[in-house]
Amino acid sequence: MARKKLIKNLLATHDPSYIIKAVNKSLQRHYLYRHHIRYNLLYNKFVKGFDEIPDPYTPIMVDPANVRLCGLSYHSNGILSVSKYTDTGKIVGGDWDLEKNCPHIKTSPKYRAVLERYKEDKSWEETGIYDELADYIEEYGSIDGCYTERDLKERYRHIDELYKSIKQNGYYSQRELTNNDPRRAALDEVCLNVGRNGQFVFGGGGWHRLAIANVLNIDKIPVHVIIRHSGWQKKREEALEGNLSIEHPDLNGIDN
């Protein structure tokens, strides 16, 4: 039923070029991501010459309170945009990780709505999230699998259920919650990027889970790293050689 609904909405609201892009995105998500990621790892090793190449499908455990910045999720003012399906494992230099290019995470409408919902006991309507996302749908056609306000309300009903589940049962990894290929499940964790000094930059995917974890004061959650700054990767190389002694979740498991 969900697939039929998706096709019906696509045909009713979009031209063929959009549909082609949607199909391509689906292929990336379900079939081609492993080839992209494998290429990125080989490029890091044989072209860039890095030795400490982490397993891209192994989540790291991070305190959600330490994720304060967001960026790299959307094309805006020339800022780099990344996808977990094609860019996981990449090592990227530049200024993408500087605070001037990374807004505080509380500026996100989704993140802010979760805080207002569960800390201030506001309704979803009062948080303004429906209006915010409805405007996005009107301009771009869909968001998070939602095409109408009714879809949005159903999605946020599920967010309420998610909150209750995490509060009552704890926070589980995607591998524990699904029967998907473990590699595919890993990509569905909260996604982060790691800046030059080891700072975490939210990378899209998991806004609500990250915010809920903060509301409930959960001290560690599994996250998926999409890209690392080249400056941070050099520190990982130093750790491999035994020349760096700092504690960081992304350095755990490095053997020297």
> What is the per-residue pLDDT across 130-165, written as a single tens digit (0 to 9) for each?
999 999 999 988 899 899 999 999 999 999 999 999
Instruction: Locate the domains of the chain by residue range.
Output: 2-121+170-251
Mean pLDDT of the chain, nearest integer? 87
The secondary structure of 199-226 as a DSSP string is -EEE-SS-HHHHHHHHHTT-S-EEEEEE
Q: Which residue has the tokens 């964790």?
A: 189
Distance CA 89, CA 10 (A): 32
Q: Map residue 90 onto helix, strand or coil.
A: coil
> pLDDT band at 13, cuts 50/70/90?
low
Distance CA 79, CA 209 (A): 25
Q: Which residue has the tokens 């039923």?
A: 1
> pLDDT band at 204, cuts 50/70/90?
confident
Are residues 221 and 59 in contact, defined by beta-carbon separation less than 8 angstroms?
Answer: no
